């Protein structure tokens, strides 16, 4: 079994810029993996969250899986942006509490 973790695995529209991807038939990482494997999913945490309340659930799912696919990273666009055009960062680590996983 495979587990896919975190917001980026299950959300194709992380920003308004990406809305056209879903409209043109785009799919999420979770949707594509589910076509071929039994997939367990946990959001774990939101991209910019400082809350770790969902991470224990993600860890439980990961420990029961043969393979874990972590979809970590940031967000570009207009809302809750973590990097991109006009949004420089002085810290290259993952945003929020993603590294705590």
Assign residue 73 a region: left if phi > 0, alpha if psi is -120 to 50, beta otherwise?
A: left
pTM above 0.95, yes or no: no
Per-residue confidence band for 41, with pLDDT thresholds at 50, 70 and 90: confident
Helix (H, G, I), strand (E, B) or coil at 20: helix
Residue pLDDT, tens place only, 12-32: 555 444 555 666 677 788 888
- Strand partners for 87: 84
């Amino acid at each position: 079994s495979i587990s896919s973790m975190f917001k980026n695995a299950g959300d194709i529209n992380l920003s308004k810029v990406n809305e056209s991807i879903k409209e043109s038939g785009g799919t999420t990482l979770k949707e594509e993996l589910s076509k071929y494997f039994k997939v367990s999913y946990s959001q774990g945490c939101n991209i910019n969250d400082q809350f770790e309340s969902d991470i224990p659930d993600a860890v439980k799912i990961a420990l029961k899986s043969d393979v874990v696919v972590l979809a970590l990273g940031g967000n570009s666009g207009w809302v809750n942006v973590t990097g991109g055009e006009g949004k420089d960062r002085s810290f290259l680590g993952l945003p929020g509490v993603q590294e705590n996983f």
